[in-house]
């Protein structure tokens, strides 16, 4: 039974690839306020920020972008309450959706890193943890638990236990609905 669940998870999280042309599409950023630092190339977007590129869509309250010397996007750091991420996998009718208090897009490595109260959902399955790394090209997610700032003290651990929540990653798999 555990082996079947494991195989199902592997299939759910890695069965399809991201749309091949996402990285070739024009990226757009909309916000209530945009600040450019022409010396450093850093750009800060505040208020109702929406980043779109192909099927990728990231929303948040504050987004900071960094560019390389050629003007190509290197990274985008999104902070929200929570920020959201969405992408349509190649050949799928369903988006992969994620949320976290901090979402980092590492363009060169094609990674989305979700930190603090991170959650990713595809169809009926979800994965949560304190840190989720999602590979845009391979559509693979890895979740980690624990504190982002290091080990918890005994007092913090007992408080987590008292709330009935765990810092361990969790996957929820909904049963398939029978064909009607």
Tens of pLDDT, residue by residue over 83-105, are 998 988 778 888 889 999 999 98
Contact present, 82 and 102 (Cβ < 8 Å) = no
With 50 as the cut, is the pLDDT of residue 23 above it?
Answer: yes
180 band by pLDDT with thresholds 50, 70 and 90: low
Contact present, 31 and 17 (Cβ < 8 Å) = no
- Measured over the CA atoms of residue 106, residue 94, residue 46 and residue 43, the dihedral's sign is positive
In whole angstroms, give the CA distance from residue 167 to residue 39: 41
With 50 as the cut, is the pLDDT of residue 8 above it?
Answer: no
In whole angstroms, give the CA distance from residue 130 to residue 100: 9
Domain extents for the chain? 16-148+162-173
Give the residue from 161, 153, 180, 126 showing the smallest Cα distance to 13: 126
Give the residue from 143, 75, 144 showing the smallest Cα distance to 110: 75
With 80 as the cut, is the pLDDT of residue 11 above it?
Answer: no
Q: Which tokens belong to 19?
A: 């749309």
| φ/ψ (deg, to 5) at 45 | -115, 130
166 band by pLDDT with thresholds 50, 70 and 90: low
Identify the pLDDT of residue 164: 40
Q: What is the CATH number of domain 16-148+162-173?
A: 2.60.450.10
DSSP state of 13: H
């Amino acid at each position: 039974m555990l082996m079947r669940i494991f195989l199902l998870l592997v299939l759910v999280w890695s069965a399809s690839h991201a749309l091949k042309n996402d990285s070739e599409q024009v990226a757009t950023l909309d916000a209530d306020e945009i600040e450019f630092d022409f010396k450093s190339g850093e750009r800060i977007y505040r208020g109702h920020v929406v980043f779109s590129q192909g099927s990728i869509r990231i929303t948040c309250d504050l987004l900071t972008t960094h560019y390389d010397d050629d003007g190509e996007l290197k990274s985008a750091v999104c902070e929200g309450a929570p920020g959201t991420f969405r992408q349509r996998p190649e050949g799928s009718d369903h988006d992969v959706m994620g949320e976290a208090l901090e979402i980092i897009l590492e363009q060169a490595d094609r990674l989305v890193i979700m930190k603090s109260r991170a959650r990713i959902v595809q169809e009926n399955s979800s994965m949560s943890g304190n840190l989720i790394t999602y590979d845009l090209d391979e559509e693979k997610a890895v979740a980690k638990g624990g504190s982002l700032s290091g080990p918890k003290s005994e007092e913090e651990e007992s408080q987590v236990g008292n709330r009935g929540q765990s810092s361990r990653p969790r996957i929820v798999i909904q049963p398939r609905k029978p064909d009607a």
